[in-house]
Structure 1
């Protein structure tokens, strides 16, 4: 006798028709489509080496996340995504992605004061899976860039696993690590310090899209120094960063 409880029904459908019918049986059709798309993006990305891509023509997305705290594994959630396209060292200012996310929990007062995002505002936003799909449609197979990637990578991985049971497979570059390699004598490498060092105008801090834009302009400045050191490809850059 077949086990027709939810988990048993999903396993039966998976064996009969694959992942998408199984997911559709457990979730609404729209969520199943979002999940299948997210999984397909991660699968395609695993096929790409990217190491030989010249930095001068590399397609990148600089992004930033605002969150309710510091640990996605202790209940903290993403509350906004911001991203901007970059081609080599040229920031494509008009090609951006931004969305609030409904974290399905209260936003701490300290986070509201920092980001300007209230619990009420976030409650009107789309759910995580819908925003994550929109973000990945924007990113496609491009290289991801962020400042202090540890935080953002943890939250992205948590979001991907929570919604689609996959891990992030995109290559990432960290402007903080690049700045440490290029400027080993600086005392601190936070975004505010580096924006000041490289003369990037500060617009609105702790707004995901504005932080992404400022980080993209920082990347553009860092690229001038990277190229001056005869670093030509993504593989070259990773090789230098691995030594620092």
Structure 2
């Protein structure tokens, strides 16, 4: 950003993203730029209508988060982002994103054991604002896909509100809901069970990028069954999944 007097800089940032980054810019101009970018991504996403896009060509980002616990509204934080781009059923394994995040709190021992992410590993990692900004730069306006998306959506919404006072506006497809629709009589729909059912090789569980890659492979197999039900665009799929609510 070119050199401006404080009032001029604040007005410029207000036009970019709103009053929250503008106020913050008086204290930290670099953080305000990250907030403005996040808000602009959400604003552009609300303009998009993707329902008529064929499932064969829809651009997706399959993602996963690792966190310090299960409650973002009671102090738990994101400790890593993992994501991979998918076009239709084609997994773009050369287009991946992975980042640790410094949660600014101690990672519980059971989470260290589960994820392999230690307090030392996140010590020099980006903080939440920068990690979230980089993740959204990778995602852009693509549809998000996750398995059991409720957990991830809560943490993303909490992070967006905490950093930028905005809510998630991306559409999300949940592979757990898809498997419930396709296989309504199963006893369990957790990721391990679905990877086993659909013959997806398990690499490293509870690593955000590896879980995202395995979920992407699960999605590509689910898409074959979705097409067999004569569902060929995103809108029709959402309509059928809405019956599972």
Q: TM-score with structure 1 length normalisation?
A: 0.92
Give the match for residue 24 of structure 2.
23
Give the match for residue 4 of structure 1.
none
- Provide structure 1 residue ranges, at least 5 long, that are not aligned to the other structure: 1-8
Give the match for residue 168 of structure 2.
168
> Residue 14 of structure 1 contacts residue 22 of structure 1 at CA under 8 Å; is this kept in 2?
no
Taking the TM superposition and a 5 Å limit, the aligned residue runs for 1:1-244 are: 18=15, 19=18, 20-26=21-27, 28-244=28-244
Count of matched residue positions in the alignment of Structure 1 and Structure 2: 233
What SS is found at the alignment partner of 1:152? helix
CA distance in structure 1 between the aligned counterparts of 2:165 and 2:201, rounded to whole angstroms: 39
4+ runs deviating over 4 angstroms: 13-18
What SS is found at the alignment partner of 2:51? coil
- CA RMSD after TM alignment: 1.7
What SS is found at the alignment partner of 2:227? helix
CA distance in structure 1 between the aligned counterparts of 2:184 and 2:190, rounded to whole angstroms: 14
> Residue 13 of structure 2 contacts residue 33 of structure 2 at CA under 8 Å; is this kept in 1?
no
CA distance in structure 2 between the aligned counterparts of 1:22 and 1:211, rounded to whole angstroms: 38
CA distance in structure 2 between the aligned counterparts of 1:84 and 1:35, rounded to whole angstroms: 23
> Residue 63 of structure 2 contacts residue 81 of structure 2 at CA under 8 Å; is this kept in 1?
yes
**CA shift at 1:16, angstroms?**
11
What SS is found at the alignment partner of 1:216? helix
* 1:210–1:87 Cα change, 3 Å: same
**CA shift at 1:15, angstroms?**
11
CA distance in structure 2 between the aligned counterparts of 1:16 and 1:198, rounded to whole angstroms: 48
* 1:58–1:188 Cα change, 3 Å: same
CA distance in structure 1 between the aligned counterparts of 2:133 and 2:66, rounded to whole angstroms: 17
**CA shift at 1:185, angstroms?**
1.4
CA distance in structure 2 between the aligned counterparts of 1:165 and 1:159, rounded to whole angstroms: 9
CA distance in structure 1 between the aligned counterparts of 2:218 and 2:107, rounded to whole angstroms: 29
- Provide structure 2 residue ranges, at least 5 long, that are not aligned to the other structure: 1-5
> Residue 13 of structure 2 contacts residue 32 of structure 2 at CA under 8 Å; is this kept in 1?
no
CA deviation vs aligned residue, 1:140-174 (integer Å, no higher than 9, x gap): 00000000000000000000000011000000000
Q: TM-score with structure 2 length normalisation?
A: 0.92
* 1:98–1:15 Cα change, 3 Å: closer
